[in-house]
Amino acid sequence: MSQPSPAAPAGPDEAVARDLADRAAVLDAADPLAPLRKRFELDDGPDAEVYLDGNSLGALPRAVLPRLTDTVTREWGALRIRSWEESGWWTAPERIGDRIAPLVGAAPGQVVVGDSTSVNVFKALVAAVRLASEDRTEILVDAATFPTDGYIAESAARLTGRTLRAVPAERIGAEAGPRTAVALANHADYRTGRLHDLRGTTAALHAAGALAVWDLCHSAGALPVRLDADGVDLAVGCTYKYLNGGPGAPAYLYVRREHQPRFDSPLPGWNSHADPFGMAPSYTPAEGAPRGRVGTPEILSLLALDAALDVWDGVAVADVRAKSLALTDFFLECVAALVPGGRAEPVTPVEHAERGSQVSLRCPDARAVMRELAVRGVVGDHRPPDLLRFGFTPLYTRFTDAWRAARVLAGILEGTR
């Protein structure tokens, strides 16, 4: 049974707003992913908060709390150290990695979960340089990358004796040459939501004899990623955005199977040793994905993530992508129809092939506007100096949420003209 259309505020645009509200209700009623919202701790009431910040922190899946309660009270509280074996704690990084693998287009045995995204970027980038020949003296990095990726790329260049060159993401493939060892690129730009050409860039890097490392933080879980099919060498990603693993949830590292025998981690640890309990003074790396491990696994956060991944049971990433594009199309339409002209201009591409799962709007006083949006029940975020960011998580975001966000934004900006 469809939900009643949300009430549209009175005003000169009431007819337009009402039409959009009615369409939102129809789209929600027909949405095949709509039942998934009940898997999250979200309010469905008429005055429920509109949460459009899942590209920063995903909502809490309902399965997490019972799992953590059992982990703490039974596995830790009763079984104690026996849980490393009896509860499967020891193999959690690879086991949960294999659950993430289908979401990034990887076969089992190539993804390991643990550490932060930043640490995994460092491991992947330095290891990629070590995989390259010594005459490859250059590292390329996306010029608009998330700052930490840039910081780590600079540090990796210093540590490995390479030079670092920043180029626009769309130019990385063309700029790669005989000196390029590896390029680090973001699949989706965190500011604008622009989706970059993972397949084409990877192919161009390989044609130049270089390796490709991709940061999937703003794409995995929102759209199809095909690491195996597209030939990606190494990749990293966080799990607290579209994978809903919780604040500070451990990140993951993908190492293509053909590279695993030569994957030389700059952070060898006892957990990635071939015989971790042998306590040998010399290091012998484990086989396969466990080479990406370092120290003791973060069990509580790992198992919270494991439970969070239950929401993906029976869900096709292609359906998630279809809804993502429909949601962002509808939001852009609502913004164009309702927001005063010139007050909030989209910087996110209109073309589907170039759009991730967020919409960014250039707006003067973005910080103050976003603060007022939150006061009025719409949660997004901003990036200096003038970007409003709205993340659309298809597993739980509704078309009605998109309409309400645009309408509230219009009301704020109408009052500041």
* Selected catalytic residue, list 189, 197, 215, 401: 215
Q: DSSP states of 223-253 as a string?
A: B---TTTTT--EEEE-SSSTT---TT---EE
Task: Say which residues have a Cβ less than 8 Å from residue 107's Cβ, sequence separation at least 6.
Answer: 101, 228, 257
* Selected catalytic residue, list 67, 99, 136, 241: 241
What is residue 62's three-state secondary structure?
coil
Which among 232, 251, 371 has a CA at the least distance from the CA of 301? 251
C-alpha count within 13 angstroms, C-beta hemisphere, residue 266: 19
What's the gap between Cα 235 and its chain centre? 12
- Omega before 46 within 30 of 0, i.e. cis: no
* Selected catalytic residue, list 122, 190, 240, 399: 240
H or E segment to which residue 397 belongs: none
Give the length of the chain.
417
Q: Decide if 241 is catalytic.
A: yes
Q: Decide if 389 is catalytic.
A: yes
Cβ count within 10 A of residue 415? 9
By the 10 Å C-beta count (0-12 exposed, 13-18 middle, 19+ buried), 32 is classed as: exposed
What is residue 345's three-state secondary structure?
strand
By the 10 Å C-beta count (0-12 exposed, 13-18 middle, 19+ buried), 4 is classed as: exposed
Q: Decide if 254 is catalytic.
A: no
Terminal Cα distance for the chain, rounded: 40
Which tokens go with 182? 């590896």
* Selected catalytic residue, list 40, 51, 122, 146: 146
**Local structure of residue 285 (DSSP, 8 states):** B
* Selected catalytic residue, list 389, 398, 404, 407: 389
> Cα separation of 138 and 154, whole Å?
11
Q: Read off φ and ψ for residue 392, nearest 5 degrees.
A: -115, 110
Residues marked active site are found at 146, 215, 240-241, 389
